[in-house]
């Protein structure tokens, strides 16, 4: 997460990126944008607002040497010599163009921006922002002609959200520059994250927490729900979140002891964990610190509804992991030949 309260734009340029697959060409600007006050006041929060809620960060990646990562190289040059900003911004767009290897990749505007005064984890730094605008929206424009007002439709950039964007901070740790990324049109995540930026998640508590919760969510869907039912799935997810909320450090062995009642379920989890690590090409640590911000964010995404084919839904409270086992009973009615849920309560709210 960043703070933009003291941030400012020092350099800003717009280019057009084409599509190599469709043989549409790039178009380059030769001058920086000179904002008027109104457009500047709208542009600055438009670009930086998405990063205010980003929890996880990335680092540059390369199979041979990080120095050979194109965007890493361009950033290093810019942070050392901002006078080369226009030329390097063109190289960035050319590199983006080279990744458009299918008709699915959209053309669009590319905004290359230098920011100052970005606050991140008690640090204040400058940063390079790269944004791609892929979708334009229709809006009505009124105009006066012959003493009467008329209206026409024009296309423009929506000020609500950017399509794709990254913020590369001029601050680093042992893994390299800190990078934040957003993608609201994730039709091809490989194109933006892996091919253009070539970045990977940072090896930190945020990433470890995210990976483990993703493992538990997938395990609950593919194994628990299939073998034990939706009620057991939701109980497991609620207990998982509760475990992360109650512990500053996750120990995998302790997690298994607290969440599973028998050796069969433990073996199912261990087998699934190995498959998950193989498919995702990662190794989940046996012990790691919990990132509270990631837990809070992931908790909002978890759905604990039991949807029935009789058009009835039962919504369980993820903050009450024991409520399902205590107050919800599943059974089978021989006369109706149907399953049922029995709900116990004292009063309706």
Q: pLDDT for 132-187, tens place per residue?
A: 999 888 888 888 888 888 888 888 887 788 899 999 999 988 889 999 999 987 77
pLDDT of residue 303: 85
The residue-averaged pLDDT of 248-257 equals 95
188 band by pLDDT with thresholds 50, 70 and 90:
confident
Measured from the Cβ of residue 219, the count of other Cβ atoms closer than 10 Å reads: 22
Q: pLDDT for 321-344, tens place per residue?
A: 788 888 898 899 999 999 999 999
Would you give the distance in Å from CA 42 to the centre of its chain?
24
What pairing do the DSSP bridges indicate for beta strands 287-289 and 249-251?
antiparallel
Residues in contact with 225: Cβ distance below 8 Å, sequence separation at least 6, in sequence order: 232, 233
pLDDT of residue 7: 96
pLDDT of residue 275: 95
pLDDT of residue 147: 84
Closest CA to 104 of 178, 192, 26: 192
pLDDT of residue 103: 84
pLDDT of residue 282: 85
- % of residues, the chain, pLDDT over 70: 99
């Amino acid at each position: 997460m960043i703070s933009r309260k003291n941030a400012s734009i020092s350099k800003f340029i717009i280019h057009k990126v084409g599509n190599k697959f469709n043989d549409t060409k790039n178009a380059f600007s030769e001058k920086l944008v000179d904002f008027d006050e109104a457009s500047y006041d709208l542009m600055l929060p438009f670009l930086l607002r998405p990063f205010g809620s980003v929890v996880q960060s990335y680092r540059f990646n390369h199979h041979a040497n990080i120095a050979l990562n194109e965007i890493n190289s361009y950033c290093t040059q810019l942070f050392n010599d901002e006078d080369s900003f226009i030329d390097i911004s063109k190289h960035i767009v050319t590199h983006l163009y080279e990744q458009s290897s299918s008709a699915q990749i959209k053309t669009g505007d590319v905004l290359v921006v230098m920011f100052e005064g970005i606050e991140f984890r008690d640090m204040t730094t400058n940063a390079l922002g790269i944004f791609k605008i892929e979708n334009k929206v229709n809006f009505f424009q009124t105009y006066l002609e012959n003493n009467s007002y008329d209206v026409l439709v024009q296309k423009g950039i929506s000020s609500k959200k950017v399509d794709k964007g990254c913020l590369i901070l001029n601050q680093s740790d042992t893994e390299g520059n800190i990078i934040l990324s957003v993608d609201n049109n994730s039709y091809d995540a490989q194109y933006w994250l892996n091919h253009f930026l070539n970045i990977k998640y940072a090896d930190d508590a945020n990433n470890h927490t995210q990976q483990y919760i993703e493992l538990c969510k997938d395990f609950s869907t593919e194994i628990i729900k299939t073998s034990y039912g939706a009620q057991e799935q939701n109980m497991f997810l609620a207990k998982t979140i509760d475990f992360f909320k109650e512990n500053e450090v996750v120990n995998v062995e302790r997690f298994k002891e607290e969440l599973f009642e028998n050796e069969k379920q433990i073996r199912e989890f261990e087998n699934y964990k190995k498959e998950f690590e193989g498919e995702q090409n990662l190794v989940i640590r046996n012990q790691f610190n919990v990132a509270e911000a990631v837990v809070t964010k992931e908790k909002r995404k978890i759905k604990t509804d039991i949807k029935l084919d009789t058009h009835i839904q039962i919504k369980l409270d993820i903050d009450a992991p024991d409520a399902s086992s205590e107050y919800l009973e599943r059974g089978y009615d021989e006369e109706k030949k149907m399953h049922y849920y029995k709900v116990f309560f004292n009063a309706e709210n």
